[in-house]
A and B are shown apart, each in its own frame.
Chain A
Amino acid sequence: MTVTGKVELPVVAQRAPSPKRGQGFVPRAKNPVRPPDGLNPLAQVVIVLSDGPVDASDTKPRSSRYNIIGENFESEILPVVVGGKVEIKNMGLKAPRLYSTFADDVVPSDPINKKGVRVTKAITEIHTPIDIRDHESVHFLAHVVAFEHAYFAVPDHSGRFEITGVPAGNWKVKVWYRDGWVTNLPKISVSVAGKRAPKAIKVALPAKLKTTATKAAKKDAAQ
């Protein structure tokens, strides 16, 4: 069964400003015509179904395609089934030399020419963001996160998502944001049963996202 839904962002007024990403000679300034909308976390969000009847076949490792579309990957985060590999294809105009700070051998470091493909090693660490960077670029960055099964989806720019092949049963909806589970989200569950698709899930993200990674970082900082 396919589970669909939409991630709703808080109103602009409630959103935190988007994070600062470097600075030129002068600090960035708000556009005078229309001010910025604030943080849009959609590019780093993964909707995951959990606590349901997982089909064993959906836990098998599989390859995932991850396309480089220019100065970035097609998405900032790529969810994979644990144990699976990632095929990286260069659809852009440059020839990046990829690497990961997680481990030296995660991704091949030779330049990927246009239309070239490189395959990572199997991602075995679950719920651990593995970064992929480019030696030739400061901004080039993406994360690969492994989950137990394949019941996950990355929302598009409008917030819509779709999870296919979900076994019938009751599922909880969890949100992974960047490097941890969102902890301040109201409980969302979905029941998949019969032949009818369940109702579209509405995932309303809070203005300020708190994650398990944030908690751990705070704990470390406190210690």
Chain B
Amino acid sequence: MHLSKIWFFLVTVVAAIAITIALVMPRPAERAAALQESKSVRSACQIANILLRDNARARIQLTAEFAQAVRELKLSTTLFEASKGEIISGQTNATGRKELTKLLNSVSGTKPSFIWLLDRQGRVVARSNLNDKTYGDSMRGYYLVKDALDGYVRDDLWMLEDGLYRVAGAPVLTRDLQWAGAIVLGQAVDGDFAASLGENINANINFYVGTDVVASSKPVQIHKDIVAGSKQLSELKSGDDCALGDVLKVAAGKERFAAVNSRLPGEAGAQGGFFSVYINRPEPLNFMGTLKAAKKDDLGFDRFPWILVALLFVGLMGIGFALMFIEVDKPLKRLNSEAVALAQGEKERFAEEAHRSKYGSIARSVNISIDKMQREAKAAKKDLDQLLGPAPASSQSMVSSALPPVGPGGDLGGIQAPPPSEFKFGAPNADLGLTPPPPAMPGLTPPPAAMPGLTPPPAAMPGLTPATSLTPPPPANKPSGKPPSADKTPPPLPMAGKAAAVDEGPKMNRPTDSLVVPEPVALPDAVTPKLSIDDDILAPPPLKAAGGEEFPTVVSDSAKYFEQIYEEFIAMKERCGESTDNLTFERFSKKLQKNKDALIEKRACSSVKFQVYEKDGKAALKASPVK
């Protein structure tokens, strides 16, 4: 019974494991993808820094070449002379612009955004391409200009009014190597530059100063997130931005990016300048993402083990069905066929050993119920036998010996058996002068007068407990007769030696612990003379009278009348469903005679009329004096 459950559990466990694997499986790939993505973007950032440094060196070189060219053009002399004056003259400015224009025209490739010629004091002698008409203002404040005037070549990043510039400066010497001034070249950081740099690093790049984006290679709105992520840069050491900075996950609409920020150097860097390198992120490789990524080819027969999967499916299902058949279907079928046979009467009970587990339990329960009903039937029959006597035989001795008049101590010693309970004419010891009931046994209350047709309850049987009732048994139920009413039928007699534990038949008033003696049934006063029944009509006649005499027999002249009454009584009993097995005419007539004689003597009537009637579902006799 358990193999199918175990199989079900195993299949469920396998299914759960398979689902877990399916859900978890993409995660390593996703982590690997995220790691690769992180590596890629960091690598792109570092390459961007390298390229920017290379570009700076190239610009420094270019600036130095420009300085050399200025020296060769004798422009340096102009600068040297201008340095001595209080102000820069217009003439000096004109000369400087003219020479610068020549220089610019001679540059092939990408031209600088601006060129400044500065005198020894750092004042602008001439500008080219950027406010080229202004001059005389001092640029000495710039760190790059100070260094250039001091004799250094260097680069820097400046945030000017119209944008971010990569600048380079170099000192200008006269031909005799006198410090004449300095030259500054500037190149804009614009979209073209960002796009060009992005192509080289195979990523996108944006340049920011503070919260403003100054150049970007791709027009995507990710600036807010990028700027927010740049706050983390202050916690890093210089040079660790690309390697250790957070990889930011940003999105613009449906596009997702991974970005890394890196601080810019120079004066722009001091003003919060940084650049951000970002790459496109692929779709997440979660379970659904993996499913979406699957192609038709992935499910082809050459790549996917369809046959194995089908065989596994069929095998698992087959095993499950087989176990279910063995453990459920087959035993149930067996139990069902046996139940049908039981119902059809082919069997009396289930064969418990043929059924296992719950089915065996069902069979046992049914068998227990069958046994119980059989016991109840036997007990009911036994009680009836006890009440009505054993199975009828034709001899009087069997009838007469049905209930020997013995008491608890043995022979009653001449005490007459109580009269039939149904054949009563009133309360005991009535004024009609009939023989009163025999005195009760010491310690016992007298049992009630027995009903006609019923065997009187035995006097207290040895072994009876106080809880035992001495009330007369209920009449035996015939299949055709109507059952006795539950509230009027006296409770059954207890089994000999046992407490009253039998629970069969209709509900009856249960006896209490005390000896309950039912009320004697009385006929109405107008009809019922106050007589006591001195004998049960079915009880065996006492062997001897009180004086030792034999009891008289029935007088023959009333035989016919008595026979008629007898037949009527029998018919009534049969109608009432009572047993008539022990009711012989001889006994019946003797009884009638006796009562007739007693009534005549008491009432001084000429005769007695008997009537058969039904009382409480039982046949009863009524005796009426005739004057």
Contact = CB atoms under 8 A, between A and B. Distances in A.
Interface of A: 18, 21-38, 40, 69-72, 74, 91-94, 137-141, 157
Interface in B405-461: none
B587 interface: no
A71 B138 contact: yes
Interface in B111-134: 120-124, 131, 134
B270 A26 contact: no
A40 B57 contact: no
Interface in B124-163: 124, 131, 134, 137-147, 150-157, 161
Contacts of B142: 71, 139
A72 B49 CA distance: 31
Contacts of B161: 94
Contacts of A26: 53, 56-57, 60, 154-155
Contacts of B64: 31-32
B486 interface: no
B267 A139 contact: yes
Contact of B152 (A31, A40, A74, A157): A31
B265 interface: yes
Contacts of B123: 69-70
Contacts of B539: none
A132 B120 CA distance: 24
A36 B150 contact: yes
Contacts of B171: 31, 34
Given A22-B267, A25-B265, A70-B123, A37 B150 contact: yes
A40 B150 CA distance: 8
A91 B138 CA distance: 10
B271 interface: yes
9 contacts: A18-B147, A26-B53, A26-B57, A33-B177, A38-B150, A69-B123, A72-B141, A140-B141, A157-B120
Nearest to B50: A25
Contacts of A91: 137
Contacts of B53: 25-26
Contacts of B150: 18, 36-38, 40
Interface string B46-59: 00010011011100
A22 B270 contact: yes
B118 to A, nearest CB: 10
Given A25-B265, A70-B123, A31 B170 contact: yes
A38 B68 CA distance: 22
Given A30-B151, A34-B171, A18 B157 contact: no
Contacts of B155: 24-26
A138 B209 CA distance: 13
Given A18-B147, A22-B270, A31-B170, 18 more contacts: A18-B146, A22-B143, A22-B144, A22-B265, A23-B266, A30-B152, A31-B152, A34-B173, A35-B151, A36-B152, A37-B150, A37-B179, A70-B138, A71-B138, A91-B137, A92-B137, A93-B134, A93-B137
Contacts of A35: 151
Nearest to A17: B150
Contact of B151 (A36, A70, A72, A74): A36
